[in-house]
Amino acid sequence: MRAERGEPSAGTETVNGPVRDLGATLMHEHVFGLSPEILWNWPDIPEGWDLERRAREAADRLTELKRHGIDSIVDLTVIGLGRYVPAVRRVAELTEVNIVVATGLYTYDALPPYFGNRGPGSLFGGPDRLAEFFVRDITDGIGDTGVRAGILKCASDHLGMTAGCERVFRAVAEAHRATGVPISTHSHSASGGGLEQQRLLAGAGVDLTRVIIGHAGDSTDVAYLEELIAGGSYLGMDRFGIETISSFEDRVAVVAELAGRGHAGRMVLSHDSYCFNDRFDHDVVRRRHPNYHLLHISRDVLPELRRRGVTEEQIRQMLVGNPRDIFARREPY
């Protein structure tokens, strides 16, 4: 039974309510990536958007994922990526897979004008409402859906920690400390961006053991990855299937190497895939990234990790134990 508005719940918040045991969990996926203004104004675009049709397609994919041993996904779609929770809620009604949704804001630079024109340093000044909005999503629910966010998301990329990114990170830190929900980031591994994220979050009072540095698996620099681990954070080895950034061979080799060094307790696995995303040409994506789908880890990655000596206990730690521990700590501080 869902807690009253503003009250903490027992278990991890999912679209269908609190769940005590998420089971095997992919920690960085997306159900839908939408372009609202495009869909509002050119509804006849070839990709098309029919909520019921797309929801059933997504549910079918998740049901197949369940048959491959995955019980839950974390949907890190936030503002800036086309979050539309009513559609995700319909998917959750059609599948047994648990879906945890996120709050936060995705930008590499400027904030959306609603926030960019308000708050410190903006054209009109005034209070920064980002943290207020994030906390509301966590404690009261997103919009009028009643669905509570269970994780916070923020991003920086090749541009580094721009002023807009810093505002989001500081607001995420504030919302995290007020609610206790974990933080997951999008980072740019090629420039060592995860370390910059750790410095900012730590400076804002965040316990880095409650942070996942996303897209760490894009890197083959084991020294960099061990530095992130030494800082306390989990590593998001979460772009399996996107082989133009890092190959299948490199991605599994790095996970196996880190597991061999005793770091299975600091890694989570995922694809960063979408059930439906109108921002890319589907045929081009399929040609360039044939393994970019929800079943790649179950079908291809786990067998290869086993072949390289990663134990069943370590695999279970990455898929079950670490997600459980990440969501178990919900105390504000």
Show binding-site residues for Zn(2+): 28, 30, 153, 186, 215, 272
Q: What is the DSSP letter of 101?
A: E
Cα–Cα distance between 36 and 57 in angstroms, integer?
A: 19
CB 216 within 8 A of CB 272: no
Cα–Cα distance between 316 and 312 in angstroms, integer?
A: 6
Cα–Cα distance between 259 and 318 in angstroms, integer?
A: 10
The identity of residue 79, as a single letter, is I
Q: What is the 3-state secondary structure (H, E, C) of 235-252?
A: EEECCCCCCCCCCHHHHH
What's the chain's Rg over C-alpha atoms? 19
CA nearest to 73, candidates 294, 312, 304: 294
Residue 62 CA, distance from chain mean position: 16
Q: Where is 274: in which H helix or E strand?
A: strand 274-277
Degrees, nearest 5: CA angle 114-195-109: 25
Cα–Cα distance between 126 and 130 in angstroms, integer?
A: 12
Binding site, by residue number, is: 28, 30, 153, 186, 215, 272
CB 272 within 8 A of CB 239: yes
Phi-psi region of 269 (alpha: psi -120 to 50; beta: other; left: phi over 0): beta
Burial (CB count <10 Å: 0-12, 13-18, 19+), residue 203: exposed
Task: Quickly tell me which residue has 């020294």 as its tokens.
Answer: 223
The CB density around residue 290, as the number of other CB atoms within 10 Å, is 11
